[in-house]
């Protein structure tokens, strides 16, 4: 079955710098790639997604890139702020599936 690997378990950046979190997936049928944010003690909150018909999507300071050949996708957070500190999860699903397969999470710390 599908496996999603999230490469950075922790990431520290200085406020104002960019943060990049990378994920790879195994199933070529995967076509939907959302990202979720989890703040301490809370549930996951959707932040952005990308579908396989595009290779880039931006929402304010968040950019998602998708490289279908390499089966890799990444979340770029520009001009980071302390409130960006959280655990970020990538996920993947095929178009016919209800099930999201999650990566193991990246703890992002934005230092003032």
Partner 1 sequence: DMKVTQMPRYLIKRMGENVLLECGQDMSHETMYWYRQDPGLGLQLIYISYDVDSNSEGDIPKGYRVSRKKREHFSLILDSAKTNQTSVYFCASSFNRNTEVFFGKGTRLTVV
What three-state secondary structure class fits 84?
helix
* Contact assessment for residue 23 and residue 104, using Cβ atoms and an 8 Å cutoff: no
Binding-site member from 7, 72, 97, 109 for partner 1 (CB under 8 A): 97
**Total site size for partner 1, rule CB under 8 A:** 28
* Contact assessment for residue 103 and residue 23, using Cβ atoms and an 8 Å cutoff: yes
Q: Which residues, 6 or more positions from 97, have their beta carbon under 8 angstroms from its beta carbon?
A: none
Q: Does 45 bind partner 1 (CB under 8 A)?
A: yes
Strand partners, 29: none
Interacting span for partner 1 (CB under 8 A) from 10-18, 30-38, 58-66, 72-80 = 30-38
Q: Does 98 bind partner 1 (CB under 8 A)?
A: yes
Residues that bind partner 1 (CB under 8 A): 1, 4, 6, 9, 31-32, 34, 36, 41-46, 49, 51, 89, 93, 95-100, 102-105
């Amino acid at each position: 079955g599908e496996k999603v690997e999230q490469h950075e378990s922790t990431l520290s950046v200085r406020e104002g710098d960019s943060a990049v979190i990378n994920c790879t997936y195994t199933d070529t049928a995967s076509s939907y790639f959302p990202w979720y944010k989890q703040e301490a003690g809370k549930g996951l909150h959707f932040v952005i997604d990308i579908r396989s018909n595009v290779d880039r999507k931006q929402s304010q300071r968040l950019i998602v890139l998708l490289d279908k050949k390499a089966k890799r996708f990444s979340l770029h957070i520009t001009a980071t702020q302390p409130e960006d500190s959280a655990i970020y999860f990538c996920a993947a699903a095929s178009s016919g599936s209800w099930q999201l397969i999650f990566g193991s999470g990246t703890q992002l710390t934005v230092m003032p």
